[in-house]
Amino acid sequence: MSFVWPASSPVPRWLGGCRMAGNMAVQVTIYLTEGDSWQHRPLHMEILKYLRKEDVFGAVVYHAVAGFLGRSKVHTAHLVEAGGELPVVLTFVDTDEHVSRVLPHLREMAAHRLIVRENVVIEQGSLG
């Protein structure tokens, strides 16, 4: 037996509300390094905690095996510690309204890092 949410009621986000297949969303990518910190804790984890607290739809952190930021040299992962300079990329997706609300605090948290905001089309799935 399945329940169908009444058409006259908004569908909550946790039930697949914001059905946006084919609609626009915003994706934000933040380029960090593994050594970046916020209040003496890893910055990428603190950003994830903030996004979770703010009910952002989804976020992921990618830990690079090699890369560079800005004009720095290329850093690679070896068995020897890379000194906290390997790139870490954090990406999240949500509605324009929601992204606009969380970005000011993210700019403060990652003031020295590149933040890219782009409009994207939801091809499959939903922000809910």
**Beta-bridge partner residues of 42:** 37
Is the model more confident about 18 or about 128?
Answer: 128
What is the pLDDT averaged over residues 6-24? 53
According to the model, what pLDDT value does residue 115 have?
97
CB-count exposure of residue 97 (10 Å: 0-12, 13-18, 19+): exposed
What is the pLDDT averaged over residues 108-125? 94
CATH number of 20-121: 3.30.70.120
Domain boundaries, the chain: 20-121
Counting runs of H as helices and runs of E as strands, what totals does the chain give? Answer: 2, 8
According to the model, what pLDDT value does residue 84 have?
66
What is the pLDDT averaged over residues 101-107? 98
Q: For residue 102, how many other CB atoms are within 10 A of its CB?
A: 19
- Contact between residue 123 and residue 21 where contact means Cβ atoms under 8 Å apart: yes
Global pTM?
0.76
What is the pLDDT averaged over residues 114-126? 92
Return the biggest CA–CA distance within the chain.
Answer: 59
Residue 3: partners with Cβ closer than 8 Å, 6 or more residues away: none
Work out the mean pLDDT of the chain and round it to a whole number: 82
What confidence tens digit (pLDDT) does each residue in 71-98 have? 778 877 764 455 667 889 999 999 999 9
Identify the band that residue 15 occupies on the pLDDT scale cut at 50, 70 and 90: very low
What is the pLDDT averaged over residues 38-51? 97
- Contact between residue 101 and residue 10 where contact means Cβ atoms under 8 Å apart: no
